[in-house]
């Protein structure tokens, strides 16, 4: 055995917990799936141990003299035991998965928060419904959820098939063009988690992730109220300059509510400065990262639908300053 193997094993095991793992459930749906997983693991583990034990036992008896009748009786008993074992194991798995399915799709009252999420190559459009009205608040690439309350996510796609997956909170479900799939999320633990597209959707599939923040209901409401506001007016001359450059070069694809920019081809940037990462979880948010992304989107995420737009250094600096201030 080489020396790296134990290290590798530790690394692999360590990867089994954390902010993007179905083995560390932090929501009702993930908890149900985790229990089903443990049940399947137990049943299959027992079957495995019994089969190996039977194999060892028969190998040890090989070549021993025994009368034919005794051997036939033993074989018969073995076949009966196997049959009963299979029926029992399969029954346990069927009942377990039936109950898990019922738990996942149990309706959870009328007060569910409604969120519409649309998959795009390679980012997420996220819209919150304003309680019972036809108004939606748009944001992108960062999902906030109130702890202890069910959020009903309505999933769609603008182009190819994607799959919505926040492993710590719930199972995954496909986002299919022309169809609305529904998934309930009931998070129980607050904190940051990570979501990831779960269906290969093109070159930057691996960079189609998003941050998930589960927070106390009051905090969540405050966040949503901030998101619903128009962009903060720019306070300084560099910001004004940035806003003007933005309106000229970026507004065909991006919206900043409260300004003339109203493009819909890319993420809504009204409060982009308050996000935790840029370009669907690809790079950590900072003023410098914003500037880097604007200068070189094709280098950071080759194939992305955002073109590299050559800007004079002073213009690039002003745009990054402007966006970082949109909080
Ligand atoms: C042709 C359309 C298009 C133009 C023009 C465009 N963008 Fe984008 N932009 C996109 C798309 C699409 C994305 C999502 C890319 C991804 O994550 O794969 C994006 C992502 C971004 C993001 C990251 C948003 C997030 O939520 O992570 C920022 C910031 C951004 N663009 C700024 C700009 C600025 C500044 C300009 C003008 C200099 C600009 N964009 C011009 C299409 C465009
Ligand atoms: Cu994908």
Ligand 1 centroid from CA 310, angstroms: 14
pLDDT of residue 233: 86
Ligand 2 centroid from CA 47, angstroms: 36
Domain end residue (candidates: 227, 259, 278): 227
CATH of the domain at 126: 2.60.40.420
Calpha distance 9→20 (Å, rounded) = 19
Q: What is the DSSP string of 143-175?
A: EEEETTS-EEEEEEESSS-EEE--TTT---EEE
Asked if residue 219 and residue 256 are part of one domain, the reply reads no
Number of domains in the chain: 2
Asked if residue 254 and residue 210 are part of one domain, the reply reads no
Ligand 2 centroid from CA 115, angstroms: 20
Ligand nearest to the CA of 139: 1
* Two structure tokens written together for 64: 């021993």
Calpha distance 111→43 (Å, rounded) = 38
Residue 219 lies in a domain: yes
Residue 214 lies in a domain: yes
pLDDT of residue 107: 67
Residue 200 lies in a domain: yes
Task: Pick the closest to residue 169 from 202, 139, 143 (CA basis).
Answer: 143
Strand 283-284 vs strand 277-278: parallel, antiparallel, or unpaired? antiparallel
Q: Which atom of ligand 1 is nearest to the CA of 304?
A: 18
Our answer on whether the CB atom of 123 is closer than 6 Å to any ligand 1 atom is yes
pLDDT tens column, 189-230: 999 999 999 999 999 999 999 999 999 999 999 999 999 999
pLDDT of residue 4: 59
Ligand 2 centroid from CA 318, angstroms: 33
Q: Domain range spanning residue 301?
A: 237-324
Question: Which residue from 297, 304, 318 has its CB within 8 A of the most atoms of ligand 1, so it is best to mutate?
Answer: 297
Asked if residue 160 and residue 208 are part of one domain, the reply reads yes
Residue 148 lies in a domain: yes
pLDDT tens column, 243-282: 999 999 999 999 999 999 999 999 999 999 999 999 999 9
Our answer on whether the CB atom of 290 is closer than 6 Å to any ligand 1 atom is yes
Average pLDDT over residues 183-189: 95
């Amino acid at each position: 055995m080489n020396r790296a193997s134990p290290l590798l094993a530790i690394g692999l095991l360590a990867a089994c917990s954390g902010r993007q793992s179905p083995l560390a459930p932090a929501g009702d749906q993930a908890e149900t799936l985790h229990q089903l997983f443990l049940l399947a693991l137990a049943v299959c583990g027992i079957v495995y141990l019994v089969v190996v034990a039977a194999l060892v036992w028969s190998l040890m008896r090989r070549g021993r003299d025994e009368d034919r009748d005794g051997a036939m009786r033993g074989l018969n008993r073995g076949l009966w035991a196997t049959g009963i074992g299979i029926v029992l194991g399969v029954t346990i798995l069927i009942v377990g998965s039936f109950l898990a399915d019922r738990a996942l799709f149990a309706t959870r009252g009328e007060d569910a928060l409604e969120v519409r999420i649309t998959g795009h190559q390679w980012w997420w459009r996220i819209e919150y419904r304003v309680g019972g009205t036809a108004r939606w608040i748009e944001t992108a690439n960062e999902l906030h959820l109130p702890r202890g309350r069910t959020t009903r996510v309505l999933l769609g796609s603008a182009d190819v098939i994607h799959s919505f997956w926040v492993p710590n909170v719930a199972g995954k479900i496909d986002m299919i063009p022309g169809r609305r799939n529904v998934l309930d999320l009931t998070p129980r633990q607050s904190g940051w988690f990570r979501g990831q597209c779960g269906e290969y959707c093109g070159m930057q599939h691996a960079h189609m992730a998003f941050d998930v923040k589960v927070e106390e209901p009051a905090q969540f409401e405050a966040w949503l109220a901030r998101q619903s506001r128009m962009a903060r007016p720019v306070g300084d001359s560099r910001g004004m300059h940035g806003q003007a450059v933005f309106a000229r070069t970026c507004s065909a694809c991006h919206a900043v509510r409260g300004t003339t920019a109203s493009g819909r081809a890319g993420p809504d940037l009204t409060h982009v400065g308050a996000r935790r990462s840029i370009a669907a979880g690809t790079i950590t948010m900072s003023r410098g990262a914003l500037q880097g992304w604007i200068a070189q989107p094709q280098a950071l995420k080759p194939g992305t639908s955002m073109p590299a737009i050559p800007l004079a250094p002073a213009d690039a600096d002003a745009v990054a300053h402007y966006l970082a201030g949109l909080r």
